[in-house]
Amino acid sequence: MPAVDKLLLEEALQDSPQTRSLLSVFEEDAGTLTEYTNQLLQAMQRVYGAQNEMCLATQQLSKQLLAYEKQHFALGKGDEEVISTLHYFSKVVDELNILHSELAKQLADTMVLPIIQFREKDLTEVSTLKDLFGIASNEHDVSMAKYSRLPKRKENEKLKTEVAKEVANARRKQHLSSLQYYCALNALQYRKRVAMMEPMLGYTRGQINFFKKGAEMFSKRMDSFLSSVSDMVQSIQGELEAEAEKMRVSQQDLITVNESVYTPDSDVTSPAINRNLIQKAGYLNLRNKTGLVTTTWERLYFFTQGGNLMCQPRGAVAGGLIQDLDNCSVMAVDCEDRRYCFQITTPTGKAGITLQAESKKEYEEWICAINNISRQIYLTDNPEAAAIKLNQTALQAVTPITSFGKKHEVRHPSQNVKNMENDKIIPSESVSNQEPTQLIAPGTPIQFDIVLPAMEFLDQNRGGRRANPFGESEDSSKDEEEDSLLQQMFIVRFLGSMAVQSDATSEVIYEAMRQVLAARAIHNIFRMTESHLMVTSKNLRLIDPQTQVTRTSFDLPTVTQFAAHQDNRRLIGFVVHLSEPLGEESMSAYVFESNTEGEKICYAISLGKEIIEAKKDPAALAQLMKSVPFTNDGKFILLNDASEEEGAIREEGEESEA
């Protein structure tokens, strides 16, 4: 016999769309079998009814043949031979009636009864288990939805425990019902073959026995054929018993698994997280906006394929593209008081989709996998080794700190070699041969906050006139603005800053960008401080958009290197020379994300430096003033769409205040 298709019991717990899709094939097969069985039973019942009618008809015929003698024919002379003949025929018909009765009984027992038992027992069992599986699956979905809505507050630990227990019970119930349902569907593939052949075997044997007794007109060849069919049925029955025992043992083993398989987020404190994944699949909750302020969450099956994030609803044959992950960024977000939420952002900076994982382990692994895929590691010859190396390098290279005061606590002893004669910093090797470790020392701490949280709290709660935390007054700032020939404002968000060892090439800025973004992704830091970057011909100032207080200021001559990211045009960075309290000098790289192209900010800084140099030479300043247009108040115009830029600044400011 050919191999029988089976559902794998080991995949019942995962309940993936692939398993559901295969299950739908088995359900469709069971539905077709049920419809065909009903039609076959009607045909067999018709045959059995015809045989019963034959018995009644032959019995009536025998009586009618005997009744011929009792008829008073007016011309009945010479009917003795006819009457005796009819009496003989009556006996023959009575004997045939006995054979027909035996055939009818045999058809009822060997043809109609097996197919009825198959329909009422096996097919009804499959239908009942299907309903129980659907109920258990719905209960599991309801419990998972309730679990997904749990808040993160610690005072709800009792509620979380109860809901987690409810999820475990629902998942156990679904697992048990799915195992029973899968076993019934697998057994049905054997039983349907027996159910189709066994009734016809009984029908054929009954007919042969009938004709053997009546005329013995069947040969031994038919007997051998029926014997072979009988052996085949017995063989299938033996296979069914062996497979049933195997499925029973497998079902028992799968039921006696660890309780953590059913409980979501069973190990919250120290889950075993694989940060080197380049492929990931599993169920996530997808956030959908249904109105201006209303949202819904839908539990769907997600998986990665190459550089794409795919989604496959239950029952679907294949998945569909949700997000292209190449050069995307992923970070954890707070969303509607739900746990384990993260957001995927497109390379252009536009917010993409928001997803929620069901456990901390899944949450961390999804973020790491998407981060690895976004760097196109899957295109390398050995993606697994590349992912392991990248994560090890990132973990060793970044140590995040979140305060301004800890910025220079850790300093690599061999950052620079200082020449004591001329008191200048000399790089150890030429610029062209500098490695990333020579640009930025390994283990250099990263600052993620532009202002101390305590200072922000004091600024928000201080009444009256606000004082500048950096010791600058608003009046002096206004005087500087009036004296400056260049004023241009940009909306930026501070990503991070770190000490660097060289400013001779823009590669140090690109390396700082890489390490800052890697640190944010690894440590799930998603908060960014928004500021207004004011570029003047004297300095760069970061201004609070709500209070208009200058957060920090850098003299333009101290900005020695600046560049925009080559791929993500919204990333901008610059290197600043800082003076230490002991008279020493250090260099730090600052990384920002802008609402506009970083090249525009670079152009503004470059123009400011040109103005500083031009002020030393009146002729050069006059030539520069001729080449660059002025505003009505005597300021340089940087861009043709300056009015649009100012409109964008005002709109972003209103949004940040809201």
User: What pLDDT digit, counting tens, does each position of 172-218 carry?
Assistant: 998 999 999 889 989 888 888 888 898 999 999 888 888 877 766 44
Instruction: Check: CB of residue 40 under 8 Å from CB of residue 192.
Output: no
Nearest to 302 by CA among 267, 226, 354: 354
Q: Which residues contact 579 (CB under 8 A, 6 or more apart)?
A: 585
* pLDDT at residue 609 greater than cutoff 90: no
DSSP state of 630: B
Q: What is the pLDDT of residue 610?
A: 85
Q: What is the pLDDT of residue 41?
A: 92
Q: Which residues contact 511 (CB under 8 A, 6 or more apart)?
A: 436, 439, 440
What average pLDDT does the segment 466-495 reach? 61
CA distances from 109 to 33, 385, 477, 494, 564 (A): 22, 68, 105, 85, 87
What average pLDDT does the segment 98-116 reach? 90
Q: What is the pLDDT of residue 76?
A: 66
Chain mean pLDDT for the chain: 78
CA distances from 314 to 24, 198, 357, 365, 569 (A): 10, 38, 18, 23, 40
Single-letter residue type at 83: I
pLDDT band at 419 (very low <50, low <70, confident <90, very high): very low
How many beta carbons lie within 10 A of that of residue 82, not counting itself?
A: 12
Determine the straight-line distance between the first and last CA of the chain, rounded to whole angstroms: 73
Residues of the chain with pLDDT > 70, as a percent, come to 78
- Provide the strand spans (E) within 307-414: 308-312, 320-324, 329-332, 341-345, 351-356, 399-401
Q: What tokens does 66 get?
A: 């005997």
Q: What is the pLDDT of residue 547?
A: 83
CA distance 281 to 366: 9
Q: What is the pLDDT of residue 268?
A: 66
pLDDT band at 406 (very low <50, low <70, confident <90, very high): very low
CA distance 561 to 529: 23
CA distance 48 to 324: 65
Q: What is the pLDDT of residue 215?
A: 65
* pLDDT at residue 120 greater than cutoff 60: yes
CA distance 393 to 641: 42
Cα of 131 vs its chain's centroid, Å: 28
pLDDT tens-digit map of 260-318: 778 877 776 777 788 888 889 999 999 998 877 788 999 999 999 888 999 988 888 88
* pLDDT at residue 465 greater than cutoff 70: no
* pLDDT at residue 376 greater than cutoff 50: yes
Selection from 200-204, 517-521, 523-527 with the highest mean pLDDT: 200-204
Q: What is the pLDDT of residue 372?
A: 85
What average pLDDT does the segment 60-80 reach? 81
* pLDDT at residue 331 greater than cutoff 70: yes
Q: What is the pLDDT of residue 316?
A: 82
Q: What is the pLDDT of residue 468?
A: 46
* pLDDT at residue 563 greater than cutoff 90: yes
Q: Are strands 445-447 and 399-401 parallel, antiparallel or unpaired?
A: parallel
pLDDT tens-digit map of 221-257: 556 666 767 787 788 889 889 999 999 998 888 888 7
* pLDDT at residue 86 greater than cutoff 70: yes
Higher pLDDT, residue 630 or 518: 518
- Dihedrals φ, ψ of 495, to 5°? -100, -40
Q: Which residues contact 315 (CB under 8 A, 6 or more apart)?
A: 17, 20, 21, 24
Higher pLDDT, residue 617 or 170: 170
pLDDT band at 424 (very low <50, low <70, confident <90, very high): very low
pLDDT band at 615 (very low <50, low <70, confident <90, very high): confident
Q: What tokens does 490 get?
A: 């940009």
What average pLDDT does the segment 550-563 reach? 90
What average pLDDT does the segment 123-152 reach? 89
Q: What is the pLDDT of residue 245?
A: 92
* pLDDT at residue 467 greater than cutoff 80: no
Lowest mean pLDDT among 141-150, 270-279, 309-318, 518-527: 518-527
Higher pLDDT, residue 612 or 137: 137
Q: What is the pLDDT of residue 235?
A: 84
Q: What is the pLDDT of residue 412?
A: 35
Asked whether the whole model's pTM tops 0.85, one would answer no
* pLDDT at residue 79 greater than cutoff 90: no
pLDDT band at 422 (very low <50, low <70, confident <90, very high): very low
Three-state DSSP state, 182: helix
Three-state DSSP state, 217: coil
CA distance 618 to 635: 17
Selection from 22-36, 325-339, 396-410 with the highest mean pLDDT: 22-36
- Dihedrals φ, ψ of 326, to 5°? -60, 125
* pLDDT at residue 457 greater than cutoff 60: no
